[in-house]
């Protein structure tokens, strides 16, 4: 499908997209705090500057936008029809960087969880992911 915006308008829209302090990050942190976790955000001394850190659990959490991080089989991750080779290279580079950073974090002893923005972040989803990863909530 062709872009509904001209190049100038599309550029303006894309320039407003931010990588930190997004609504999904804030929501995830609020849910975790509500569950009793002590949280930190964007520690630059960790690979990838994780969105949310659970220091006492030695776990890091990322909230990934489906388009920017190439969420497999997600309609939100579809490449634009214009400048396709640029976007494919950009997204593939992001995915390689993400995997490299996750490997580094795991080598450092951190558990790594990724939440995708297409999967609306709710208490139920967060609790399920924490349990599957072996993390315990502070309040039982």
pLDDT of 18 reads 60
pLDDT of 140 higher than 90:
no
Asked if 66 and 116 count as a contact pair (C-beta separation under 8 A), the reply is: yes
Nearest to 59 by CA among 75, 43, 72: 43
pLDDT of 2 reads 61
pLDDT of 9 higher than 70:
yes
Nearest to 56 by CA among 129, 132, 134, 138: 138
Greater pLDDT, 125 or 21: 125
pTM reported for the whole predicted model? 0.83
Asked if 100 and 8 count as a contact pair (C-beta separation under 8 A), the reply is: no
Least confident of 11-15, 48-52, 80-84: 11-15
Nearest to 98 by CA among 121, 66, 136: 66
pLDDT band at 115 (very low <50, low <70, confident <90, very high): very high
For 23-77, write each residue's pLDDT tens digit.
Answer: 899 999 999 999 999 999 999 999 999 999 999 999 999 999 999 999 999 999 9
Q: In whole angstroms, what is the distance from residue 39 CA to residue 14 CA?
A: 30
pLDDT band at 80 (very low <50, low <70, confident <90, very high): confident
């Amino acid at each position: 499908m062709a872009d509904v915006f001209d190049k100038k308008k599309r550029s303006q829209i894309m320039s407003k997209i931010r990588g930190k302090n997004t609504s999904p990050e804030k929501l995830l942190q609020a849910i975790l705090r509500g569950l009793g976790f002590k949280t930190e955000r964007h520690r630059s001394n960790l690979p990838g500057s994780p969105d949310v850190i659970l220091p006492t659990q030695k776990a890091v959490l990322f909230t990934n936008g489906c388009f920017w991080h190439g969420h497999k089989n997600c309609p939100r991750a579809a490449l634009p029809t214009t400048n396709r080779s640029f976007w494919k290279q950009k997204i593939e580079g992001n995915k390689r960087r993400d995997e490299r950073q996750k490997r580094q974090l795991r080598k450092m002893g951190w558990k790594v969880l990724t939440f995708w923005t297409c999967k609306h972040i709710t208490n139920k989803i967060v609790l399920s992911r924490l349990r599957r990863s072996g993390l315990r909530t502070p309040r039982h």
